[in-house]
Each structure stands twice: as C-alpha cells, then as structure tokens.
Amino acid sequence: MLALREPRRAAAVHPPKGLPVPGNRAVGLVLLLGGGALLAGVALSFGPLTQVVLLVAIAVPVLALALRAPRHLVLGLAIWLAGVGLLRRLLYGLGSHALLGDPLLLVEALVMVLLVGVALSRGAGRRRTRLANAVLVICLLALVEAVNPLQGGISVGIGGLLLVLVPVLAFWVGRSLVDDRTMRHLLVLLAILAVAASIYGLVQTLAGFPPWDQRWIQAVTSNGTYAALNVGGVIRAFSSFSSSAEYASFLGVGLVAWFALGRRKALLPLALGAIALLGTAIVLDSSRGIVVLSVVALGVMVAARARLGLVPAALAGVAAVAVLVVVLSHLGPHQVQGTGSTAALLNHQVSGLSQPLNPQSSTLRIHLQELGQGLRSGFTNPVGHGTGSITLAASKFGGTAQTTEVDPSNAAVAWGVAGLAAYLVVVLVGMARAYRLAAARRDFVALAVLGLLVATLLQWLNGGQYAVAWLPWLALGWVDRSWISWRSAGGGELEWPGSWP
C-alpha cells in the first residue's frame, strides 16, 4: 500500500462534476474543417495549383480559431480524425495523386502545427522536465532523420514527418493548452465517439458493408496492400477509420474512458452498457493485441484506484492477462459454434489468445522476432535508417520499409540507439508519473489518462492510426503539466523506494 501525505488545500485540483458536452464552437469547428476538407477532396480531380489554393483557404480560418479558441480546436481535431477515414472512402475515386499528398490527411498536420505554435507562445517549452527533454530529443531526431538517405528519397522523409512527428507534437499542446477541464471534455468526447464507431463497426460485421466501404475493400485487397483485413475469408470491420487496427485501438481508448466514468454511481448503468457494446465490438474485430492491452489497462486502473505500488500494479496487469489466457484455453476454439462471419472472427480471436505460443494460431512469435531484429538494428546501425523507414511512406514512395509494428524496435530502426534510449525514457518516466498521479488523485481524468496510455502502449509511434496516435502524446503532455503543478503546489508524495522518476 502507498502512504499519501495530505497535500495543502492549494494543491487540490479537481474537475467539475457532471458529464460535459462540447460547446457550439467545437461543433462549428468540425463543420468548418469538414466543409474545407470536402472542398480539398474535390480538388483532387483538379491541378496542383487548385489544391494549394484550397489548402491555404482552409488554413486561414483554422489559424484564426487556433489563436482564439485553441482548446476547442483540440476537441474538433478529435472528431475530425475519428471520421476522416470514412470521408476519404466517400470521396474515393475523385483523384489518385496530389502534389501535397491527400489533403484530408494534411488537415491534422495543419491544425497540429498551429496548436504547437500557440502552445509554445504560452510557455510549452519552459520548465522542461526529464519527460519533456526526452520528447524534445525524439522531435529533433525525427527532424534530422527525415533526410537520412537510407530510407529512400526526400518524399519518404516528409511522409515520415507527417506520420510520426506530427502526432508527437501533441505533447507540447497537452503540456500548455490542455488543462483538467479540457482533458475531461476530450475523454468524454472520445467515449461517445467510440460508442458511435462501435455501432457502425458492428453493422459492418453483422449486416455487411455499404457501397463506399465495399469499393475501398476491393481496392486494398485486390492489390495486396492490406492483407490483414481478411481473416479466414472474412473482412474485419473498420468503422469510420482508415484501418481495422485503428478502429480497434480507438475502441480500447473508449473502453477505458467508460470504465473510469463508471466509478460514479449515477453513470454506472450507462457505463456498463457502453463497456458491453465496446467489448463486443473489440472481440469481433478479431485483433488480439488490443484485447490484451485493454485487459492490462483495466487491471492497472484498478490497482491505481486501490493505491497499490508500481510493481503490484504491473503484476495486476500481468495477472489479468494470465486469467484471460487460462479461461480461453479451457474454452478453446472448438467451443465456437457456427460457420458464419461472426464464428470465423471469434475462432480467430479465441485460438490466438488461448494458444499464444502456437505458431499455427498466433503471430506472437513473429512479432517477437521482429522486435528482436529491430532492436539489433539499432546497434548494428546506430544512426538509424530514417524517420520514414517505419511508415507507409517508405513503400508508397519507393523507399525501404522496415516497420516492426511495435514502438521500441521501430524507434531503434528509425533513429538508432539515441532514439531507442529517448523512447524508453518517455515510456518509463511518463507511465510512472501517470500512475502516480492516478493513484494520488483517483479521479476520472487521471484514471482515464492512465488507461489510455496503457491501452495504446507500443503503438505511440504508429502514425498510420490517425485518430489514435496523437492521443497518448497529448495525454503525456497533460501528465507533465499536471505533475509540475502538483509538485509545485506541495502535492502529497507517494511513498515507495526512491523518488524516481
């Protein structure tokens, strides 16, 4: 157990009670972004000059909003990214090549750069901690490695910056602009969006895909660019997102948010219904990694709520996964009845989780091999292969794709030993501080942020998950901000050996 020294009254920072709803400015922002992006999408059928003009036309009002209401811009970005995959499919076929890439994807970069500019002007770079310095190293490495010739041409490097650096920049936004109230609004918004996404995904699984989704499925499966979408002849759901993996990760974020909301008795019935819906959607997505991470996240959140130490908390997460494996191993895939799409997805899920070391039913060994190869690459080539080498930009622009699908080895491949070290500092310090804040405060925001970080662990550098990749970095920025405020205001010390981190 942890002994908690009572903080002074000035240190008590608790968000207002109640279930917040984003204001009208956030809704207006989404309409602005959506309308502007629709014009940009239509411009795909025209020349490069038209695309540039429309992008500039979008940038001007977004800049005004960034200066006037940056916190609402954060909420609007969350809504935008949760639906950009669907919007891209609705606009599919209007054009295949653009001078600046897909304008719909450039909206995130535009908004993030503007928000970072505002954040830095408000002191995001001041009073840097070990966590902030480690993130700064990652940002600098990403910039420098964008011109690494080992990854391919400069287009690969630019693509890498869009997919890796842009989400990481959210840390500085969270550190300066995201206070408790904004984070609370964002988490509730993500919980609501996850429920909506799960309904769409379940419709895809149980009733079939609408025409716009079918066109996209045919395009990505016919050329072999997305083989993982097909599981035993059944297409995984992807809802409004750009991939099934992104959809599953977003559901995991929503699940931990609803779990944290359920601590309030008034919201418990609603939270239980949402958790059941999201849990069903996650299982039927047939992605095993998010199932394991979600279980670990819930176990760690319970441990933080009970104010256990870091080691018991880690053991709680491992124990939760062990229980899951034992239960499923007793059930076995033979318990899954039926021959339809649902049965195939469940069989794939159960067989992999119940026999994680069986190469016939699980890809765990393959992932571990890729992890080992990636880590070794960081030492055999200490300077790294470039930021774009671990992204889709490498394969799209003729570079050398070397993604290992997990963050530690991806950091080693892209940025060498220095990148691996900086990433490990971010994870160890960031997770420890997030846990200590959650154990000290035990409120919705701190617990949900902790759950979000665990549920997305090992995928923080996966910029291909557009709606998810920026969230852990934003959360880490909020953690750093809250940590400084808590310690400066004389917050209670959690007593365990040493003062690290």
Beta bridge partners of 4: 494
| Cα 296 to Cα 312: distance, rounded to the nearest angstrom | 13
Do 71 and 35 share a structural domain?
A: yes
DSSP 456-475: TTT-TT-TTSHHHHHHHHHH
Same domain, 117 and 144: no
Intra-chain end-to-end CA distance of the chain, in Å: 19
Tokens coding 411:
């950091």
Residue 493 inside a domain? The answer is no
The helix (run of H) or strand (run of E) holding residue 420 is helix 407-441
Residues 110 and 153 in one domain: no
For 250-282, the pLDDT digits (tens) are 999 999 999 999 988 889 999 999 999 999 999
User: Going by C-beta distance under 8 Å and a sequence separation of 6 or more, which residues neighbour residue 315?
Assistant: none
SS3 316: helix
Which of 69, 91, 122 is a domain's end point? Answer: 122
For the stretch 93-113, pLDDT in tens is 444 444 345 677 788 888 888
CB 242 within 8 A of CB 236: no
Residue 104 belongs to some domain of the structure: yes
Instruction: Flag whether pLDDT at 29 surpasses 50.
Output: no
Whether residues 456 and 426 fall in one domain: yes
A 10 A CB-CB count for 489 gives 14
Whether residue 221 is contained in a domain is answered as yes
Whole-angstrom Cα distance, residue 483 to residue 256? 21
Task: Name the β-bridge partners of 234.
Answer: 231
Question: Whole-prediction pTM value?
Answer: 0.85
Contact present, 496 and 2 (Cβ < 8 Å): yes
Is the alpha carbon torsion for 279, 284, 290, 296 positive or negative? positive
Domain boundary among 60, 87, 122: 122
Residues 39 and 145 placed together within one structural domain of the fold: no
1 within domain boundaries:
no
Let me know if residue 399 belongs to a domain.
yes
383 found inside a domain:
yes
User: Residue 135, exposed/middle/buried by CB under 10 A (0-12, 13-18, 19+)?
Assistant: buried
156 and 251 belong to one structural domain: yes
Mean pLDDT of 399-418: 89
In the predicted structure, residue 16 carries a pLDDT above the cut 80: no
Instruction: For residue 447, give its domain range.
Output: 132-488
pLDDT at position 335: 55
Q: Are residues 252 and 168 in the same domain?
A: yes
Residue count (the chain): 501
* CB-based contacts of 129, cutoff 8 Å, min separation 6: 480, 483, 484
What percent helix, strand, coil does the chain show, rounded to 5? 70, 0, 25
Cis preceding linkage at 501, omega within 30: yes
Q: How many domains does the chain have?
A: 2
Query: C-alpha angle 15/21/22, rounded to 5°?
Result: 100
pLDDT of residue 286: 79
Stretch (H or E) spanning 231? strand 230-231
- Residue 6 is assigned to a structural domain of this protein: no
Residue bearing tokens 């997770």: 431
Shared domain check, 106 and 241: no
**Same domain for 240 and 206?**
yes
461 inside domain: yes
pLDDT tens digits, 41-62 = 444 444 455 555 656 666 666 7
The domain boundary, picked from 122, 142, 168, lies at 122
Q: What is the pLDDT of residues 117-171, one digit of tens each?
A: 889 988 888 889 999 999 999 999 999 999 999 888 888 888 889 999 999 999 9
**43, 161: one domain:** no
Helix axes 444-455, 407-441, angle to 10 degrees: 160
Nearest CA among 61, 85, 87, 86 for reference residue 73: 61
